[in-house]
Structure 1
């Protein structure tokens, strides 16, 4: 029997991408919690797997050629698992390009911009109106892009795919980004449909109890120093 995939994880929008994919695939996995507020991401053993000191990452004992492989970066993990299991990531090149476009749109746009909106709206030590407006407005623009895209199709690339798995976690905290989904009816329909999937419901609960044991990041100054004060080491 093949050993389960090891998932190095903390319950955040980026972490949820991979629990969603693994739950949708129905493959065995074990969670190795990387408490990013405590600095677990800087441990030498983890850096061997994820040199960018970011989770998520995976170790698949049954990698190519039957040998173990580690993969970091959430988009790369989704693509790897999609290729390996032949699900949620089409083999047809035209369809795959469509998925890749929206996956990279999330990785390069929606995630970073929503993350900056979270930072300036909730975590910055001082209220900086320009930063708040800049990133709140950019997230609003990106929501508008999704809303138009979803006007004539149920999911971002037509069929449900890793692109949807990548994006959903960054829309869940939309209120923290200063957004009202009622302004984006197509996006709201998609949001409700994805969250209704049993695998997605289960995936976003993974690690919830671990996170609940800690103070909220907005109140935890030590965690903020770990997360927001990083320089080259």
Structure 2
């Protein structure tokens, strides 16, 4: 029913977490981004930004031709609307959920991603850039920790796509130079999600597809330094 174009990255994990939660039938189409498979013309037709994940829904609501969706947040929202699961149905609840989904897409993911780049992969250590992104990641952790400190179990009360979006970007907290002891409410939330059956299945699935580092010396030239020529 769902073709999932996927690799074992935080954004990829978001979608397998959701699909495992709802039990939708899906078929993984591995896109090894370390080998440059995201730049094939076939994938570009589905994901014009040359990034995983992307899906093709062969049984969309209302029937008709298959629907392709790219961008992990858009995919989560599409699937939540399709299944009517893991998104609040009332106006205020839905609004809150979407705010936190966009917070992850516009903040936690990009800032943690820059953190990874300058801490782990930059060819020369730039103290200003490292300090900038480690601190911003800390600030974002603090935002979510404060939000969760009122006793709620999940970001919007009940488990939702907002949690599935944020969790994979907190998994590599050690690599981001974040001490979870400084974020007790966030840490409890993190542990709560990590023991969910669907979360475990999603991450076990990832191990069956790839256990090699996404970024190594060979792949750096593929993953970094792209410009407009990449998509021509």
Query: Structure 2 length as normaliser, TM-score?
Result: 0.95
Is residue 37 of structure 2 the alignment partner of residue 61 of structure 1?
no
CA deviation profile, 1:112-158 (whole Å, cap 9, x unmatched):
00000000010001111111100000000000001100011111111
1:200 aligns with 2:196: no
- Structure 1 unaligned spans of 5+: none
- Name 1:101's counterpart in structure 2: 99
User: Of the candidates 221, 226, 229, which is equivalent to residue 230 of structure 1?
Assistant: 226
- List aligned pairs for 1:19-98, cutoff 5 A: 19-67=16-64, 68-98=66-96
Structure 2 gaps, min length 5: none
Tell me how far 1:185 sits from its aligned partner: 0.3
CA-atom RMSD in angstroms: 1.0
For these two proteins, the number of residue pairs brought into alignment is: 227
**Other-structure match for 1:180:** 179
Shift of 1:174: 0.2
Tell me, yes or no, if structure 1 residue 170 matches structure 2 residue 165.
Answer: no
Q: Output the CA distance in 1 between the equivalents of 2:96 and 2:105.
A: 15
Q: What do the CA deviations read for 1:15-74 (whole angstroms, capped 9, x no partner)?
A: 000000000001110100010111111000100000000000000000132121110000
Task: Using structure 1 for the length normalisation, give the TM-score.
Answer: 0.95
TM superposition shift of 1:229: 1.5
- Structure 1 residue runs of 4+, over 6 Å off? none
